[in-house]
A and B are shown apart, each in its own frame.
Chain A
């Protein structure tokens, strides 16, 4: 097979669709390319595919959890949540898996199918190799959308995100905005009724399925939704449920535990920046503390529409909504984040800080993390500029004491040519 593929590769080398063949070929076999003149003769083991693959591996637990949680929330909404919860009796069950697979897998397939198809087309048109950027984006997209997002909507959003978010800038490595978040933002602003409210987070709610023995349609309010409407009393989720993720929300972002595991894996493998993750957590905590202080000082009354969210314990912001997921998997995208180490601290801190701010001040849509990250994506080059300028200034300052000697007259020496 190796030999056959090599022969085909040689034969299609000059064809226009060669990049498409190569993309599949290099997926199967690392190429036979060797180092060339004027560079190092050996190279380290890592390539972009391996890097992307590591991020995908860190996302798999969240995906699996999301699949089971889709079923769990669905049946929980119809039959009521179990009183004495047991992981294997109520969560990891066949019927949860079936519901999850039938709802989540189509999202995943559409996300990869549409996105990769566009990548291939652009690679062929522009005559460059298919770069691996979309491997991670394609995995992120189904994890950050509501479970019942119609597939046609997702297709349009993915097409928009890949073309406008990435390809117009020149493809992988050149984009300004995180493509997965561009897709999410497109969905949110184009189809707002499908992206927020209490009907979208649980499978079946949109179709008006009814709760057992009642005529009420099922609904699944997120914790942030409860808080934004000052309905804290109706919220029945315990702290551990929020942390483990047995709550309604976008497909893969509910389990803080598994996100934290993914974060540890990414930090251990040195693939994602721990600086961004840590500073974003600190930023979120800082903003949360400010709001808590406002409440403690009595500057805001309990009838205020911001009260519940402001009074929400500062550290709990990290375990509800998409904040943790955004910090670990979105903010750390190396292309759209700050590229300097010092810039990463500032960039991460502001993401955490602004996320919680938007969350509290925008009750209509209490999830601020994707807007905060997109905003900071735009400002990342500015942050880097000032960080790099500090280095430039240091160099210019040093240059004031440069020891430059006048150029000597050329030494006159007899030379003769043939």
Chain B
């Protein structure tokens, strides 16, 4: 049943460097890269040796624990390098791209007549499966499980996030194909949540339940939407698919080609002309940054947004799930009496001589300084102001820190993923690493209880 969701708790983080709704001219990428830590807890088994030729869409490796999940190469070319870390753990894989791209030809899937098993196998064999994430535990979905529902967030509310209505414009046909196929995978519904039911690319689509939510971060996070539409209970599984990933899924279903196309918003205060750029999963970041223009200096490069993205180097490649790149200034400098003088240029949830409450519209140029040191939890009641789920955030964090499995379960750890705790981490006066604590808690719970 379609819902109108209103959340009151949250925080919009307005930063400098919103991407202008225009495309930078495409740039070519000679190599493509896969980073294995994009897939949490995955143990990759390679299907090809170094030096082997691979086609776009051809399986590169699979998960040791779930061998049926295969990962497809985004391009055709030669597998040139496998970077290994401690105990020969694979860190990254690099492919030298062909000039003329060869696509592995898959059958088209007649979605309307396909059974659940057919859709499932199609997703698994064509490399589409890694786009489906499951909750609890925030991992790539386990194909053996049946989800009670599938969720797609049709809006972004995080800092400098790409505008999905702009990014997805014209992709309605592919979205429809992907959503219809996903609908076969669950006995429940495919829930899509958007900012406005009337003016969204999802408005006219079928086989989905459309919901509306007000645009206060974290309204755009799937976790917020799930909690309000159909919260996860112990033993239940829901799947989550990213909106841009639907386009890749839809194109493969319609054409039989694995086209790992991405539209990436290049944002942040250090970007000269923040814009969108069309590229592919795994493309080199260097040429993208060069084309868009980055100011010289000690910069922090982030794949994703400033709240939950991962730190990358500018000579690396586009991360698997990233649809945004952010560049801000590093803040590795001291500030004289930074703890007691009035603050006008930083965001604060309080008014303790901090003045961001005066002008909610102002855009800030934040750097990576922690603005204080790590401390024990002292202040109470502040996390609740930005946390829209029916969960006690501090109590859950403490349960995770002491690894109390019963409490973790009872306080709702199944319902959350690390990104749900990004805002509480941002405002945390004690500078605790909430997302890392939740990630560790999820890993412990998964390990102990499966």
Q: List the interface of chain A (C-beta within 8 A of B).
A: 2, 5-6, 26-51, 53-54, 129, 131-133, 170-174, 268-271, 273, 275, 334-335, 337, 339-341, 344, 384, 388, 391-392, 394-396, 398-399, 401-413, 415-418
Binds A, one of B175-183, B284-292, B420-428: B420-428
B373 contacts A26, CB within 8 Å?
Answer: yes
Please report the C-alpha to C-alpha distance between residue A174 and residue B402 in the assembled complex, in whole angstroms: 14
Closest A-B pairs by Cβ, 8 of them? A47-B372, A30-B338, A173-B376, A405-B146, A45-B346, A49-B339, A402-B233, A29-B334
**B333 contacts the other chain (Cβ, under 8 Å)?**
yes
Q: Give the Cβ gap from A133 to chain B, nearest Cβ, in Å.
A: 7
A334 contacts B378, CB within 8 Å?
Answer: yes
Residues of chain A contacted by B379 (CB below 8 angstroms): 48, 51, 334
Show 24 residue pairs from A and B whose CB-CB distance is below 8 angstroms, ordered by the A residue: A31-B334, A31-B372, A35-B368, A40-B306, A43-B370, A43-B431, A44-B428, A45-B356, A46-B349, A46-B427, A51-B379, A53-B352, A54-B350, A129-B375, A268-B351, A269-B352, A339-B380, A339-B394, A341-B384, A399-B235, A402-B233, A403-B148, A413-B68, A418-B46
Residues of chain B contacted by A275 (CB below 8 angstroms): 381
Q: Given A29-B335, A51-B350, A271-B350, 14 more contacts at CB 8 Å?
A: A31-B370, A42-B368, A43-B431, A44-B428, A48-B375, A50-B372, A170-B376, A388-B395, A391-B392, A399-B233, A399-B235, A402-B235, A407-B146, A409-B144
A415 contacts B47, CB within 8 Å?
Answer: yes
Please report the C-alpha to C-alpha distance between residue A411 and residue B352 in the assembled complex, in whole angstroms: 58
Binds A, one of B27-35, B107-115, B118-126, B200-208: B118-126
A269 contacts B351, CB within 8 Å?
Answer: yes
Q: Give the Cβ gap from B329 to chain A, nearest Cβ, in Å.
A: 10
Residues of chain A contacted by B435 (CB below 8 angstroms): 38-40
Residues of chain A contacted by B13 (CB below 8 angstroms): 42
Residues of chain A contacted by B62 (CB below 8 angstroms): 415
A171 contacts B236, CB within 8 Å?
Answer: no
B306 contacts A38, CB within 8 Å?
Answer: no
A403 contacts B376, CB within 8 Å?
Answer: no
Please report the C-alpha to C-alpha distance between residue A114 and residue B294 in the assembled complex, in whole angstroms: 53
B347 contacts A47, CB within 8 Å?
Answer: no
Residue of B whose beta carbon sits closest to that of A338? B380
Q: Give the Cβ gap from A198 to chain B, nearest Cβ, in Å.
A: 39
Decide: A39 near B436, CB < 8 A? Known: A45-B348, A392-B411: yes
B433 contacts A32, CB within 8 Å?
Answer: no
User: Considering only CB atoms and an 8 Å cut-off, how many residues of chain B contact the other chain?
Assistant: 100
B354 contacts A273, CB within 8 Å?
Answer: no
Most chain B beta-carbon neighbours within 10 Å: one of A36, A50, A339? A50
**B67 contacts the other chain (Cβ, under 8 Å)?**
yes
Per a CB cutoff under 8 Å, which of A51, A398, A405 touches B145?
A: A405
A411 contacts B235, CB within 8 Å?
Answer: no
Residue of A whose beta carbon sits closest to that of B357? A270
Per a CB cutoff under 8 Å, which of A35, A132, A173, A340 touches B377?
A: A173
Chain A contact residues: over half helix, strand or loop, or mixed?
loop
A44 contacts B347, CB within 8 Å?
Answer: yes
Residues of chain A contacted by B334 (CB below 8 angstroms): 2, 5-6, 29-32
Binds A, one of B162-170, B211-219, B308-316: B308-316
Per a CB cutoff under 8 Å, which of B337, B375, B428 touches A173?
A: B375
Residues of chain A contacted by B309 (CB below 8 angstroms): 41
Q: Give the Cβ gap from B106 to chain A, nearest Cβ, in Å.
A: 15
A40 contacts B308, CB within 8 Å?
Answer: yes
A51 contacts B429, CB within 8 Å?
Answer: yes
**B447 contacts the other chain (Cβ, under 8 Å)?**
no
List which B409-439 residues lie within 8 A (CB) of chain A: 410-412, 422, 425-431, 433-436, 439
Q: Give the Cβ gap from B179 to chain A, nearest Cβ, in Å.
A: 20
Please report the C-alpha to C-alpha distance between residue A129 and residue B431 in the assembled complex, in whole angstroms: 14
Q: Give the Cβ gap from B114 to chain A, nearest Cβ, in Å.
A: 15
**B328 contacts the other chain (Cβ, under 8 Å)?**
yes
Please report the C-alpha to C-alpha distance between residue A238 and residue B271 in the assembled complex, in whole angstroms: 67
Per a CB cutoff under 8 Å, which of A6, A34, A268, A410 touches B330?
A: A34
Please report the C-alpha to C-alpha distance between residue A136 and residue B307 in the assembled complex, in whole angstroms: 32
Q: Type the 1/0 row for B271-311, where 1 means its CB is closer than 8 Å to any CB of A.
A: 00000000000000000000000000000101000111111
**B359 contacts the other chain (Cβ, under 8 Å)?**
no
Please report the C-alpha to C-alpha distance between residue A27 and residue B338 in the assembled complex, in whole angstroms: 9
Q: Give the Cβ gap from A169 to chain B, nearest Cβ, in Å.
A: 11
Q: Give the Cβ gap from A236 to chain B, nearest Cβ, in Å.
A: 41
B370 contacts A413, CB within 8 Å?
Answer: no
B352 contacts A54, CB within 8 Å?
Answer: yes
Q: Give the Cβ gap from A27 to chain B, nearest Cβ, in Å.
A: 8
B369 contacts A30, CB within 8 Å?
Answer: yes
Per a CB cutoff under 8 Å, which of B121, B346, B352, B373 touches A413?
A: B121
Q: Give the Cβ gap from A335 to chain B, nearest Cβ, in Å.
A: 6
Q: Give the Cβ gap from A381 to chain B, nearest Cβ, in Å.
A: 11
Residues of chain B contacted by A394 (CB below 8 angstroms): 390
